[in-house]
């Protein structure tokens, strides 16, 4: 399998090289040049690990079979995921299943990719016979940061530097990151919002001069954000796996199309679902759910992507994003791998903060995608209802997708079985969850709320956040956007 740039501006590379490089250095993202097809009948009975192997092996063709198997065993086991299914399903009713993607070490769906990706990356560096230390730069809206820190901590030959928006993450997310141990981890608070952080990191990747300075000092930058192909490909697995589980539960027959509803920020999770669909997974509709930062809802409804708008901080901070990086991969693919259009649109985006797609592209998108958004009020109401009616706790991000799913069903009458991606443990965003359920918003200490939420629900506190306030704080660095290169150099001693 070869990998190409969405903007047609780079040479063809193999998967290891795409993963090691992260983003195309001259702008653009690496994508497979074709989508492999699979036979769902053949794969339907596999356990998570064996299915993971079948899927990863189709895309990561320059990794040895034994290598992939060993990484899968190290990543997807009972030590890291406290559930034999890795990603268990919880049925709310006959047509709605919640796919719990948060049983990993940091309580967010990012663990599914970031527990395995460090193995891809260090192996890729070896294949390239690189003698440089890999420096992972991460911009995070909260969950990626901690998941990447846990994935990369103490991994030989790597260092990881995480940038998060100073006021853009929850207290628990911040504490999860600041208490990370390990001899190669660095965490820096940035004066700015997530988009500022992400743009800052992208600019550092694209800064040839700066990269040369680091190279000469023995370092090489790479990315653990979902702009890296190594982040996306493991996410394809759980779309197939959950589909097969639904069939095993007798809710559908293999071959019946279902819907997936995904709380979306950077478009990485839902894009993996779209790749699964292209590989042969029977899907009727993808429901792209946003919070009030609804740039994607507007885009899918009008064909105009307009990032120049007010930015809101919401109770679902991992979706407080106005520039959805992976949309570029999607637009490339839905246009039959057309780099000219991507060049034009992303040039417009850079120049004016917006772009407009042609009608035929929009029509193709709307055949398979529908989009909606949930207000903050709607998020609270749905969390309350899920608990009162189903005795089920959902986090704020999952609640966004539940609300949008319900509205979609009311509007269209489409009652196709729907899998809702649940992207975080409710304990991670407990302030909103607790007040939505009890009506009491007087307690602002997120650590005290862990016990309270557990007591009223009878659900055990997720191990990722239990006792977090007792851990030692290891990281206190801060930076402004303009000082970020200096901070990287200081950390690396360059």
Ligand X SMILES: *Cc1c(COP(=O)(O)O)cnc(C)c1O
Cβ of residue 232: shortest distance to ligand X, in angstroms?
9
Q: Which of 110, 146, 174, 202 is catalytic?
A: 110
Cβ of residue 38: shortest distance to ligand X, in angstroms?
22
3-class DSSP assignment, residue 358 = coil
Cβ of residue 329: shortest distance to ligand X, in angstroms?
12
Binding mask 25-64 for ligand X (x = CB under 6 A): ----------------------------------------
DSSP summary character for residue 7? T
Q: Return the H-helix or E-strand segment holding 302.
A: helix 295-302
In degrees and rounded to multiples of 5, residue 12 shows phi and psi of: -75, 135
In degrees and rounded to multiples of 5, residue 227 shows phi and psi of: -70, -15
Residues in binding contact with ligand X, number by CB under 6 A: 16
What residues contact residue 125 under an 8 Å CB cut-off, 6+ apart? 20, 132, 134, 157, 220
Contact between 314 and 292 (Cβ < 8 Å): yes
Of 85-93, 265-273, 335-343, 463-471, the window that binds ligand X (rule: CB under 6 A) is 265-273
Binding mask 458-487 for ligand X (x = CB under 6 A): ------------------------------
Q: Which of 263, 273, 372, 426 binds ligand X (CB under 6 A)?
A: 263
- Does 81 contact ligand X by CB under 6 A? no
Q: Pick the closer one to ligand X by CB: 264 or 484.
A: 264
- Does 108 contact ligand X by CB under 6 A? yes
Q: Pick the closer one to ligand X by CB: 270 or 488.
A: 270
Q: Pick the closer one to ligand X by CB: 20 or 329.
A: 329
Structure tokens given for 17 = 């090289």
Structure tokens given for 30 = 């690496």
Contact between 360 and 297 (Cβ < 8 Å): no
Cβ of residue 331: shortest distance to ligand X, in angstroms?
15
3-class DSSP assignment, residue 194 = helix
Cβ of residue 264: shortest distance to ligand X, in angstroms?
4
Catalytic (active site) residue 44: no
Q: Which residues pair with 165 in a beta bridge?
A: 190
- Does 86 contact ligand X by CB under 6 A? no
Handedness of CA 307, 188, 205, 181 (dihedral sign): negative
- Does 265 contact ligand X by CB under 6 A? yes
Of 4-12, 22-30, 264-272, 354-362, the window that binds ligand X (rule: CB under 6 A) is 264-272
- Does 146 contact ligand X by CB under 6 A? no
Rounded CA-CA distance 141/164 in Å is 6
Question: CA 115, 262, 203: angle at the middle one, nearest 5?
Answer: 60
- Does 112 contact ligand X by CB under 6 A? no
Q: Return the H-helix or E-strand segment holding 28.
A: none
- Does 397 contact ligand X by CB under 6 A? yes
Query: Interhelix angle for 484-492 vs 194-206, to 10°?
Result: 60
Q: Which of 96, 264, 293, 435 binds ligand X (CB under 6 A)?
A: 264
Contact between 9 and 192 (Cβ < 8 Å): no
DSSP string, 36-72: ----HHHHTT--HHHHHHHHHHHH-TTS-HHHHHHHH
Tell which residue, 359, 342, 257, has the closest CA to residue 304.
359
Cβ of residue 424: shortest distance to ligand X, in angstroms?
3
Binding to ligand X (CB under 6 A) within 278-337 occurs at 318-319
- Does 424 contact ligand X by CB under 6 A? yes
Rounded CA-CA distance 372/254 in Å is 28
Instruction: Tell me which residue has tokens 């649940």.
Output: 422
Cβ of residue 265: shortest distance to ligand X, in angstroms?
3
Q: Pick the closer one to ligand X by CB: 56 or 323.
A: 323
Cβ of residue 321: shortest distance to ligand X, in angstroms?
7
- Does 268 contact ligand X by CB under 6 A? yes
Binding to ligand X (CB under 6 A) within 188-227 occurs at 226
- Does 372 contact ligand X by CB under 6 A? no
Q: Which of 267, 330, 332, 373 binds ligand X (CB under 6 A)?
A: 267
Number of Cβ atoms within 10 Å of the Cβ of 298: 16
Catalytic residues: 110
What residue ranges bind ligand X (CB under 6 A)? Answer: 108, 110, 143, 226, 263-269, 318-319, 397, 423-424
């Amino acid at each position: 399998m070869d990998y190409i740039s969405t903007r047609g501006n780079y040479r063809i590379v193999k998967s290891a090289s795409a993963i090691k490089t992260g983003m195309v250095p001259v702008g653009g993202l690496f994508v497979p040049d074709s989508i492999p097809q699979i036979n769902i009948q053949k794969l339907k009975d596999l356990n998570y690990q064996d299915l993971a192997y079948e899927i990863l092996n189709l895309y990561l063709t320059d990794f040895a079979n034994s290598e992939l198997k060993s990484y899968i065993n190290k990543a997807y086991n009972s030590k890291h995921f406290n559930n034999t299914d890795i990603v268990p399903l919880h049925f709310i009713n006959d047509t709605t299943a919640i796919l719990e993607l948060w049983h990993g070490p940091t309580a967010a769906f990012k663990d599914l990719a970031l527990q395995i990706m460090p193995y891809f990356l260090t192996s890729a560096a070896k294949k390239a016979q690189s003698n440089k230390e890999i420096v992972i730069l991460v911009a995070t809206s909260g969950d990626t940061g901690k998941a990447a820190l846990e994935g990369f901590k103490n991994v030989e030959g790597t260092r990881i530097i995480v940038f998060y928006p100073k006021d853009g993450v929850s207290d628990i997310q911040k504490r999860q990151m600041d208490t990370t141990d390990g001899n190669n981890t660095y965490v820096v608070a940035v004066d700015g919002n997530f988009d500022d952080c992400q743009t800052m990191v992208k600019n550092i990747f694209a800064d040839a001069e700066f990269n040369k300075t680091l190279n000469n000092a023995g370092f090489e930058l790479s990315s653990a954000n979902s702009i890296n192909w190594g982040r996306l490909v493991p996410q394809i697995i759980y779309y197939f796996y959950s589909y097969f589980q639904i069939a095993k539960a007798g809710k559908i027959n293999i071959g019946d199309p279902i819907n997936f509803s995904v709380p979306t920020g950077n478009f990485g999770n839902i894009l993996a679902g779209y790749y699964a669909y292209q590989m042969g997974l029977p899907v009727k509709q993808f429901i792209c759910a946003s919070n009030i930062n609804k740039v994607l809802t507007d885009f899918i409804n009008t064909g105009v992507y307009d990032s120049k708008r007010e930015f809101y901080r919401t109770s679902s901070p991992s979706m407080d994003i106005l520039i959805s990086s992976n949309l570029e991969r999607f637009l490339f693919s839905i246009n039959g791998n057309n780099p000219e259009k991507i060049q034009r649109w992303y040039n417009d985006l850079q120049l004016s903060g917006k772009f407009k797609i042609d009608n035929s592209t929009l029509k193709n998108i709307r055949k398979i995608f529908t989009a909606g958004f949930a207000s903050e009020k709607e998020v609270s109401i749905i969390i309350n209802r899920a608990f009162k009616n189903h005795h089920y706790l959902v986090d704020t991000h999952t609640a966004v997708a539940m609300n949008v799913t319900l509205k979609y069903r009311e509007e269209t009458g489409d009652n196709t079985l729907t899998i809702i991606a649940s992207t975080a443990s409710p304990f991670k965003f407990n302030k909103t969850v607790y007040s939505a359920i009890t009506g009491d918003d007087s307690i602002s200490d997120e650590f005290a709320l862990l016990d309270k939420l557990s007591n009223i629900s009878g659900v055990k506190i997720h191990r990722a956040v239990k006792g977090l306030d007792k851990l030692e704080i290891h990281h206190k660095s801060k930076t402004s956007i303009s000082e970020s290169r200096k901070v990287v150099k200081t950390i690396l001693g360059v």
